Chain A
């Protein structure tokens, strides 16, 4: 599978877990924050992504607790998940850098005018 087929929800979930374990609703808020408010994950989408990432060994369940009568399940990024997130982030940065470099030559005269 190529990088072009990676969907944003999975990447945002991995990125949201990069600084520590989180439960479902915390992941939704983190993903929204990471995307600058652009992406608000729906619960069905979040758990489908977590299920897939779990099957691939990138995310694992860290534990469960009951808070105010509600069951919260915490997830954490596995070693493989960290490597994958790092590799994806590097690829995305490299692609973005190349795109910006190409644009720079065309945007500069337009801005100067």
Chain B
């Protein structure tokens, strides 16, 4: 293998393994033919970017196709419902609760009545939930993406402004994961799905708020100081989720079984990574990496349990039309 071939083969690594097994040698030949005709030896930047774009798109397309539509829709619904419930909880417990604690917030830089500008991200998530409930699904999806950007942007801004009562990166990453899962399927859109969305949020909200009832001191302070970190409070969650999934599976609700397992991924990951020392993973990148590793670990466990994912082709072209 010469230098040119090796360079092009590296550029083709963006494609999934199955794709490369079927097309790699043919694509490599075409790339080398084109390179020779252009008098080049190595891939141009344009070629590298083009292969990266199509390779990633192929990876997304194949992974998306592995989960049936019914499961994706239900998982998205549960994710948005729980994300909205968590956003409401955080808004109440931390963003409004922390400034209300005079002793704790003394001398702290605040964002009006809120602990930090991250509150705007929580509002945006709640807005996306409302939009999905009233059937504006597309606007809701755009709002979710916007909410994720606001969460990251305001969290960075809060640090630079010295707002120390802001949420941890663990929670921000966690909300980003939930937001991402909410985009994998249809959310709201019909009275039935809007109903499920509402029920999910209505069930999740009291569960999330319940630890406050058991704290002897200010709930906001407990939250901040770590006596009530969400991840530790949820240590029991993996067992509950697996139990619920098993019951759903036994009762024949396969779509809901898959949806519960998928939507629970960020929660399970959070429960797993939460056992680590909180202070060591408090920065943006290491927190994200650990959470994603947690999701990977959970996915690995699910595979061990033999979770069967089926291939499903969608979008057939009508005669005379080309589907892009």
CB of B275 to closest CB in A, whole Å: 43
Asked whether A56 and B31 contact (CB < 8 A) given A24-B26, A44-B53, A72-B26, the answer is no
B324 touching A5, Cβ below 8 Å: yes
Using Cβ atoms and an 8 Å threshold, which residues of chain B touch A23? 30
Using Cβ atoms and an 8 Å threshold, which residues of chain B touch A7? 324
- Which of A79-87, A93-101, A102-110 participates in binding chain B? A79-87
Select from chain B the residue with minimum beta-carbon distance to A42.
Answer: B50
Asked whether A58 and B50 contact (CB < 8 A) given A24-B26, A47-B23, the answer is no
CB of A6 to closest CB in B, whole Å: 5
- Which of B128-136, B207-215, B231-239, B315-323 participates in binding chain A? B315-323
Asked whether A83 and B46 contact (CB < 8 A) given A25-B34, A43-B51, the answer is no
Asked whether A28 and B30 contact (CB < 8 A) given A1-B317, A1-B322, A6-B324, the answer is yes
- Inter-chain residue pair count (beta carbon < 8 A): 87
Select from chain A the residue with minimum beta-carbon distance to B313.
Answer: A55
Count A-side interface residues using an 8 Å CB cutoff.
Answer: 33
B30 touching A43, Cβ below 8 Å: yes
B324 touching A56, Cβ below 8 Å: no
A73 touching B26, Cβ below 8 Å: yes
Using Cβ atoms and an 8 Å threshold, which residues of chain B touch A25? 29-30, 33-34, 37
Instruction: Verify if B159 is at the interface (C-beta below 8 Å from A).
Output: no
Asked whether A44 and B322 contact (CB < 8 A) given A24-B26, A71-B29, A73-B26, the answer is no
Write the A38-55 contact mask toward B (1 if CB under 8 angstroms, else 0): 000011111110001101
* Of the residues A45, A71, A88, contact of B26 by C-beta under 8 Å: A71
B54 touching A48, Cβ below 8 Å: yes
Select from chain B the residue with minimum beta-carbon distance to A64.
Answer: B26
**Bound CA–CA A84/B317 (angstroms):** 11
**Bound CA–CA A22/B30 (angstroms):** 12
B321 touching A1, Cβ below 8 Å: yes
**Bound CA–CA A72/B32 (angstroms):** 11
CB of A74 to closest CB in B, whole Å: 10
A83 touching B320, Cβ below 8 Å: yes
Asked whether A46 and B30 contact (CB < 8 A) given A1-B317, A56-B317, A71-B25, the answer is yes
Asked whether A48 and B322 contact (CB < 8 A) given A24-B29, A28-B30, A28-B34, the answer is no
Known pairs A11-B322, A70-B28, A72-B26 / 20 extra A-B pairs, C-beta < 8 Å: A1-B317, A5-B324, A6-B321, A7-B324, A24-B27, A24-B29, A25-B29, A42-B51, A43-B30, A43-B50, A44-B51, A47-B27, A56-B317, A64-B26, A70-B29, A70-B33, A71-B26, A71-B29, A73-B26, A88-B320
Shortest 3 CB-CB contacts between residues of A and residues of B: A24-B30, A44-B54, A70-B29
